[in-house]
Amino acid sequence: MNKRLFNRKTISKVAKAILILHVPYLIYTGCINIQSGEVDITLSVESSSLSFTYSGERKDIYITTNDSWTVSKDASWLSISSSSGANNGTISVTAEANTSFSQRTATITVRSTVQGVREKTINITQGAIFTEDQMVYVQGGTFTMGCTSEQGGDCYSDQLPIHRVTLSDFYIGKYEVTQGLWKAVMNNNPSYFTGSDNYPVEMVRWNDIVGTSGSYQEIKGIRYYANGFIYKLNQLNGKQYRLPTEAEWEFAARGGNSSKSYKYSGSNTVGNVAWYLDNSNERTHIVGGKSQNELGIYDMSGNVWEWCGDWYGTYSSNAQTNPSGPSSGDGRVARGCCWGSSAVYARVSYRLGWIPSSRNYNLGFRLARSSN
Ligand SMILES: [Ca+2]
């Protein structure tokens, strides 16, 4: 080895060369380290959307990350359990009840704390308290009303004589009117059985539904007054809801033009479609809990009796078109029976008259409206 390489000058030159060659490299690798640290930060959420029903609900968002994070929202009707955290975590999102008549949306944004590096948006939608998709279209048709053969031989005489009825198209509620909807419209809840907004409202008088004073809106021969539920509902959403006529109720309960001629609404086995004495645990149940009938309607047999618009009266054997009952009477018709009675009352032909100023924890209603 040439020993001149080892004199001080040579060593100094070699060191400089090494320094010149490697300083940029050292700076460069330093940058790489920082960048690779950023790239390694992950942030994911389990879902990019969450949907809530109209009633108040809580749902969880799972965050997977190796960084600190913050959460923000853009709607006052949402609350979040935590606005920041680190590493994997869960936040709960609670939506207040949506008492409006339209769906609403919001977003929740989760950001890793290294701003601008990672961000996830979760789109939130919440259904409205009541929308048209809760009304079932019933195509008009002709049917035989009253104690037809499948109803059995023990019908009361008020279900006779059987008679032909022709109806125009109409809509009827898929569910009994819920306590949530009643509260949204009336700001009170008269129901005996509480605990969920999705229980049917009961303890409502015919007079509470139809109203007794103030301005009125006349629909299908009934005046709906300003202090009643239906008038207020119609003011809120601009529709023309009303009570079903007794004939509309029975036609819909029988499955309309899709009828399979069941004894109860949607089945010959009462427990498949109805909450009644033997399966109800002697209380109401959340609407829609049993099987639907041929038209996709729930609880027409059982849960709560349902007020109809008509005065209760005797049947005629004459064929009729769009009947709306007698012109006067003592009681208003109720149909379909209830959690508190035996199966015979849940038959589609069974009928009852109830004083319109009376109320009962067995008794609620469902909405209807004409198709034009
Ligand atoms: Ca019912």
What DSSP designation does 242 have? B
The Cα–Cα gap between 273 and 267 comes to 7
- The answer, yes or no, to whether residue 342 has pLDDT greater than 60, is yes
- The answer, yes or no, to whether residue 8 has pLDDT greater than 60, is no
- The answer, yes or no, to whether residue 28 has pLDDT greater than 90, is no
Task: Copy the structure tokens of residue 230.
Answer: 């239906």
- The answer, yes or no, to whether residue 192 has pLDDT greater than 90, is yes
225 Cα–ligand 1 center, Å: 24
Task: Write down the pLDDT at residue 100.
Answer: 80
Please tell me the total number of residues recorded for the chain in this structure. 372
Give yes or no for a contact between 261 and 148, defined as CB atoms under 8 angstroms apart: yes
82 Cα–ligand 1 center, Å: 42
253 Cα–ligand 1 center, Å: 10
- The answer, yes or no, to whether residue 15 has pLDDT greater than 70, is no
Give mean pLDDT, residues 230-246: 94
- The answer, yes or no, to whether residue 125 has pLDDT greater than 80, is yes
The Cα–Cα gap between 174 and 180 comes to 15
Which residue type is seen at 40? D
DSSP, residue by residue, 179-202: HHHHHHHHS----SS-S-TTSBP-
Is the pTM of the predicted complex or chain greater than 0.85? no
Strand partners, 91: 61
Give mean pLDDT, residues 31-38: 33
338 Cα–ligand 1 center, Å: 6
- The answer, yes or no, to whether residue 13 has pLDDT greater than 50, is yes
Nearest to 134 by CA among 292, 355, 301: 292
Nearest to 284 by CA among 372, 199, 161: 199
Dmax (CA) for the chain in angstroms is 130
Task: Write down the pLDDT at residue 9.
Answer: 52
Confidence of residue 117 (pLDDT cuts 50, 70, 90): low
Task: Write down the pLDDT at residue 171.
Answer: 98
What DSSP designation does 1 have? -
Q: Chain-centre distance of CA 28, in angstroms?
A: 59
365 Cα–ligand 1 center, Å: 7
Which residue type is seen at 322? N
Q: Average per-residue pLDDT in the chain?
A: 89
Which residue type is seen at 363? L
Percent of the chain with pLDDT over 70: 88
Going by their DSSP bridges, the two strands 89-95 and 78-80 should be labelled as antiparallel
Which residue type is seen at 306? E
Give mean pLDDT, residues 187-202: 95
User: pLDDT tens for residues 139-163?
Assistant: 999 999 999 999 999 999 999 999 9
Task: Write down the pLDDT at residue 31.
Answer: 26
Nearest to 100 by CA among 123, 122, 131: 131
Angstrom distances, CA of residue 313 to CA of 149, 160, 268, 330: 22, 11, 27, 9
Please name each of the domains of the chain with its CATH number.
Answer: 1-37 (no CATH), 43-126 (2.60.40.10), 132-370 (3.90.1580.10)
239 Cα–ligand 1 center, Å: 23
307 Cα–ligand 1 center, Å: 9
Give mean pLDDT, residues 28-39: 33
- The answer, yes or no, to whether residue 6 has pLDDT greater than 50, is no
Task: Write down the pLDDT at residue 12.
Answer: 54
- The answer, yes or no, to whether residue 262 has pLDDT greater than 60, is yes
Question: Which of 1-5, 102-106, 365-369 shows the lowest per-residue confidence on average (mean pLDDT)?
Answer: 1-5
Task: Write down the pLDDT at residue 236.
Answer: 86
Task: Write down the pLDDT at residue 16.
Answer: 53
User: pLDDT tens for residues 128-140?
Assistant: 888 888 999 999 9
The Cα–Cα gap between 246 and 308 comes to 6
The Cα–Cα gap between 263 and 281 comes to 23
Task: Write down the pLDDT at residue 334.
Answer: 98
- Sheet strand arrangement including 368-370: 135-138, 170-173, 368-370
4 Cα–ligand 1 center, Å: 108
364 Cα–ligand 1 center, Å: 8
Going by their DSSP bridges, the two strands 163-167 and 320-321 should be labelled as parallel
Task: Copy the structure tokens of residue 209.
Answer: 């539904």
**∠ CA 368-171-104 to the nearest 5 degrees?**
85
Task: Write down the pLDDT at residue 316.
Answer: 96
Strand partners, 90: 62
335 Cα–ligand 1 center, Å: 7
Give mean pLDDT, residues 196-201: 94
Q: Return the CA Rg of the chain.
A: 33
User: pLDDT tens for residues 41-91?
Assistant: 778 888 899 999 887 789 999 998 888 899 999 999 999 999 999 989 999
